[in-house]
Chain A
Amino acid sequence: MPEFEPDAGRLTFKLVYYGPAQGGKTTNLMQLHAQAGTQMKGELMTLETQHDRTLFFDLLPLGFRTASGLTVRFRLFTVPGQAAHDGTRKAVLSRADGVVFVADSQRSQATNNGESFQNLADNLGRVGLDIARLPLVVQFNKRDLADILPEDEIRRRYASAPWPLYFAAAIDGRGVGETFSALLRLVWRRYADEYDLGGRHGLDEAAFVAAGGGA
């Protein structure tokens, strides 16, 4: 559930980038930090790394103010991908309002992707979130590398899954915005009615996505 503070006129969505270690979650946030044209954009906060690996999380705050006076904030978190940090991963995932699963397209990483997705499903259950109702987008990253699974094969594998599928090369910024926009669209569809974003705050899906920093 997004955090709504009526007194401060503030609605905050927690969005989490999940996925196997070194799949490009932090790179996604760095690119969004550079690309996103939101009204409000904070610094990318990186909380401790070790050999380029996230130890705790990264945090990118984005936001905009509606004409009605509501401040809509998006706090984008990454989780540490390494298996050992499951406790941290679970804590970061708790209270999430949307998830981007960043998979690694390299053939050698197929098992890691599977394990990480299973871990996401397990942890969602543990923190009391319903994977069937949570806005969730799957991104296959690292399309720029050689020896990757071809797109049509991935599409075939995910054909029966309900989640939108995106391809990205986060290192060049390719696909990062599209993925984020897709998540914003799902977030809109899931929560717009509940917080009357269309009626009271004069937003629609396209406006919401554009103001949130999507394409």
Chain B
Amino acid sequence: MGAEGGFDRDFTLPELLSPRDAAELCAVAGAVLGVPVAVLDAAGAVYGDGPPPPADAARAPLVVELEPLGFIAAACPPPALAEVARLLRWGLLARARLRMVSDLHLEAVRADYARLQQQNEALKISEAKYRELAASLDAKVREQTQIIDERQRQLYQAERLASIGQLAAGVAHEINNPLGFINSNLSAAERYREQLAGLRDALPAVEWQARDLDFVFADFADLLRDARDGVDRIARIVRDLKGFSSVDQPEEQVVDLNAQLASLLAVVNGQKKATIRLVTDFQPLPKLMCLPGHLNQAFLCILQNALQAVEAAGGTVTVRTRAVGEQITVSIADDGPGIPEDVLPRVFDPFFTTRGVGAGTGLGLTVARDIVLAHGGRIVIDLPLAGGTVVNVELPA
């Protein structure tokens, strides 16, 4: 707004006094002074349509601020005219003040209005933003919830694995010690048996046969050999348990997945029913950078499902490893009844289980998938026409 339009502009006579008002003023002032009165503008020209003042008329300025806006002129004594001019000033001043105040008020209101409009615009923008946020909130919350769930399961799993690992380490340590002295005692026992066998020539044959010592010594050797086999098996189970839980290697490392699977299968082999055949079909694999304990857990979950599928009627579970380029595929196949169509889409859902209460947590495949995903891989379930189930675990080497 320029100075012309501002409340603080200089007022001109026409702004404060209309020609009609001027005519009325002239009439009233003329009646008071007894002579005709004219209103002149700032330049001295007659204002309004009254007659011009006589040449010898006196002039009195009409001042609102500093300089005259106009004059009144009449042929009368100057002091009387000045008094009338002062009277008129009251009216002009009052009008000027009213104009200034109302203009100032308008100016302030306009500025406020402009500011309100700006705020309104800003509000509209933010409202649109919030509307959009609200619309996508549901999806966002669901997404975040899913991520949190996943993380929680991974955490739970990691802790569970850690405690299994600690337990396995403790058990292995405790069993290895007695195994050591059992082993050396067995060796001593074998030596003693051989020494005792030397008595055969020293003792009377009658005594020897009466006590059936030929059988005793032969059986003694068998017992010791069986005992040693048993000890070896215990040692192997302890070793596999340690390997499976990876207690010694909690960090990521490069492993041969075939060896990992072999140690896992050794553990499982002892648990499975005799009616189930466990077949392996390994091919050389590139080394894999992974958390071996976690991957073992994933394979165990899948393997347990496969074993359970053929538990009732007996059958075969085949573990096959293949490498194509940089991708490793581990297939765990069973020839059980397969997965019903309505169940298939839900097998990875947390806490979904077809087994009775207490028999399964419904977390097995969920955990397996989480672990495989964390390794950058994926799990694909295949239902061959011939029957059974094939679970393919694909991992990038």
Contact = CB atoms under 8 A, between A and B. Distances in A.
Contacts of A14: 8
Interface string B110-138: 01100000000000000000000000000
Interface in A54-80: 56-57, 59, 61-63, 71, 73, 75, 77
A45 interface: yes
Nearest to A40: B66
Interface string A12-28: 10100000000000000
B66 A91 contact: no
Contact of A90 (B65, B67, B105, B111): B111
A110 to B, nearest CB: 28
A73 B66 contact: yes
Interface in B86-116: 93, 97, 100-101, 104-105, 107-109, 111-112
A57 B104 contact: yes
Interface in B52-96: 63-67, 93
B66 A61 contact: yes
B245 to A, nearest CB: 68
Contact of A95 (B8, B10, B108, B109): B8
Contacts of A109: none
Contact of B93 (A45, A71, A77, A87): A45
Contacts of A57: 104
Given A71-B67, A73-B66, A94 B6 contact: yes
Interface string B1-25: 1010011101000000000000000
A83 to B, nearest CB: 14
A42 B104 contact: no
Contact of A47 (B3, B97, B109, B111): B97
A56 B111 contact: no
A94 B6 CA distance: 9
Contacts of B109: 87
B65 A42 contact: yes
A87 B104 CA distance: 9
Interface residues of B, number: 22
A75 B104 contact: no
B106 to A, nearest CB: 9
Contacts of B107: 91
Nearest to A41: B66
A49 B97 CA distance: 13
Contacts of B111: 87, 90-91
A47 B66 contact: no
B7 A91 contact: yes
A3 interface: yes
Contacts, number: 55
A73 B8 CA distance: 13
B104 A88 contact: yes
A186 interface: no
Interface residues of A, number: 27
A92 B104 contact: yes
A48 interface: yes
Given A61-B65, A61-B66, A77 B101 contact: no
Contact of A77 (B8, B63, B64): B8
Given A63-B66, A87-B111, A90-B108, A47 B8 contact: no
A118 to B, nearest CB: 18
Contacts of B8: 14, 59, 75, 77, 92, 95
A94 B3 CA distance: 10
A22 B93 CA distance: 26
B66 A87 contact: no
A77 to B, nearest CB: 7
Contacts of B97: 45, 47
Given A57-B104, A88-B108, A90-B111, A95 B65 contact: no
Contacts of A59: 8, 65, 100
Contacts of A42: 63-66
Nearest to B4: A3
Contacts of A77: 8
A92 B8 CA distance: 8
Contacts of A45: 93, 97
A56 B100 CA distance: 9
Contacts of A75: 8, 65
Nearest to A64: B66
A47 B66 CA distance: 17
Interface string A169-204: 000000000000000000000000000000000000
27 contacts: A3-B3, A12-B10, A40-B66, A40-B67, A42-B63, A42-B64, A45-B93, A45-B97, A47-B100, A56-B100, A56-B101, A56-B104, A57-B104, A59-B8, A61-B65, A61-B66, A71-B67, A75-B8, A87-B108, A87-B112, A88-B108, A90-B108, A91-B104, A91-B107, A91-B108, A92-B8, A95-B3
The 8 nearest A-B residue pairs measured at CB: A87-B108, A61-B65, A91-B107, A42-B65, A40-B66, A91-B108, A61-B66, A88-B108
Interface of B: 1, 3, 6-8, 10, 63-67, 93, 97, 100-101, 104-105, 107-109, 111-112
